[in-house]
Amino acid sequence: MKKSVRKAIIAGNWKMNKTRPEAKELLEAIKPLVANAEGNVEVIACVPYTNLETAVNTVAGSNVKIGAENVHFEKSGAFTGEISADMLTEIGVEYVVIGHSERRQYFGETDETVNKRTKAALAAGLKPTVCVGELLWERETGITEEVIARQIKLDLYDVSAEDVKKTVIAYEPVWAIGTGKTATADQAEEACAFIRATLAKLYDDATAQAVTIQYGGSMNAANAAELLSKENVDGGLIGGASLKAADFNTIVQAAING
C-alpha cells in the first residue's frame, strides 16, 4: 500500500450473517480494538440491510464506518425487495459493496447493473466498492487480465474521474472467495497493478494513483501482512475473518503497520 497517495481501507463483508444483537456485540468488540487506526486506515463494516441502523448507532463516535452490501439503481418505485441509495444515506450509511461475485453468480448481477448501481450510489453520495475478479477457469485459460479489464471498463462506464476517486475497487478472484485458497501476494499485486494501469488508460495516471484497490478472497490474520505489503494492494475486503473481532483487528493492525 502507498498511504502517501491513497487511503488504506480494511472492510468487513459480513454477507448474510448476524442478527441485530449479534451485530451490536461484534461491533462493540471491534471498536476499541481498531481505535488506533484513526487517521491511518479506514475501517468499515458492510452489514446486512437489517443490521444497518443498529450498526450505525453502535459505531457512532468511533472511527468505524458502516457500509451496505448492495444498492438498487432506481430512486424508488416498483422494485420489490430492493433498497435505494437514498434509503441508505438516510440511515447514515457511507459505503456500499457493488457487484460482489456472489451477486453476479447467484443473483444475475451483470456489468450493466453493476454500472447502474455504481452511478446511483455516487449520485447519492455513497462511496461504492466495486468488486471485480476472474473465475478459476478464466485464470487457468490465461484470460484474467481480459476479464478484469472488461469488468473495469463496463462497471465504470460513464463514471467521471472525480467520482472514480471516491470509488474503491476490490480485486476478488472468485476462486479465492470463501475457499481458504488465497491468491499469493504476487498474484494479488499483479492483478491490482493491472487494474491501476487500466484505470490510468481510462482516466489518467494521477487519477489511477488516487484510487484505493483492495484485495479480497480468504484474506485472514495470517496472510494479511504479506498481501498488504504490496505496493498496489491498498487494503482488504474481508469475508469470513471479519466475523471474528480478533482476526479482523489483526488485519487492521497489519494495515496500520503496512
Q: Which is nearer to ligand PGA, 174 or 203 (CB)?
A: 174
Min dist. Cβ of residue 241 to ligand PGA (A) = 6
State the DSSP H helix or E strand holding residue 192, giving kind and residue range, or none if neither: helix 185-202
The strand pairing partners of 128, in sequence order, are 96
By Cβ distance, which residue is nearest to ligand PGA?
239
Q: What is the DSSP string of 68-79?
A: ES---SSSSSS-
Contact status: 13 vs ligand PGA (CB under 6 A) = yes
Concatenated DSSP letters of 206-225: HHHHHS-EEEESS--TTTHH
Q: Taking contact as CB under 6 A, which single stretch among the options 26-34, 108-116, 222-230, 239-247 is the one that binds ligand PGA? A: 239-247
84 vs 148 by CB, closer to ligand PGA: 148
CB of 193 to ligand PGA, least distance (A): 20
- Residue listed under C-alpha cell 503497520: 257
Q: Please, which residues have CB within 8 angstroms of residue 22's CB and are 6 or more apart in sequence?
A: none
Q: Is 129 in the site for ligand PGA (CB under 6 A)?
A: no
- Minimum CB separation of residue 62 from ligand PGA in Å reads 22
Active site residues: 100, 172
- CA dihedral for 67, 195, 99, 249, sign (positive or negative): negative
Backbone phi and psi for residue 116, each to the nearest 5 degrees, phi listed first: -65, -40
DSSP helix/strand/coil, 13: strand
Neighbouring residues of 20: CB distance < 8 A, sequence distance ≥ 6: 50, 51, 54
Residue from 41, 233, 237, 245 binding ligand PGA (CB under 6 A)? 237
Nearer to ligand PGA, 67 or 216 (CB): 216
Residue with cell 471485480: 132
Q: Which of 154, 221, 152 is nearest to 182 (CA)?
A: 221
> Per-residue contact track with ligand PGA, 171 to 190, x per CB under 6 A?
-x----xx------------
The binder of ligand PGA chosen from 239, 248, 253, 256 (CB under 6 A): 239
Residues within window 211-230 making contact with ligand PGA, judged by CB under 6 A:
216-219
Give the nearer residue to ligand PGA in terms of CB position, either 84 or 155.
Answer: 155
The only residue of 9, 44, 59, 238 in contact with ligand PGA, by rule CB under 6 A: 238
For helices 185-202 and 144-155, angle between their N-to-C axes, nearest 10 degrees: 40
Task: Please identify, using beta-carbon distances, which residue of 113 and 182 lies nearer to ligand PGA.
Answer: 182
Q: Report the amino acid identity of residue 221.
A: A
Residues that bind ligand PGA (CB under 6 A): 13, 172, 177-178, 216-219, 237-241
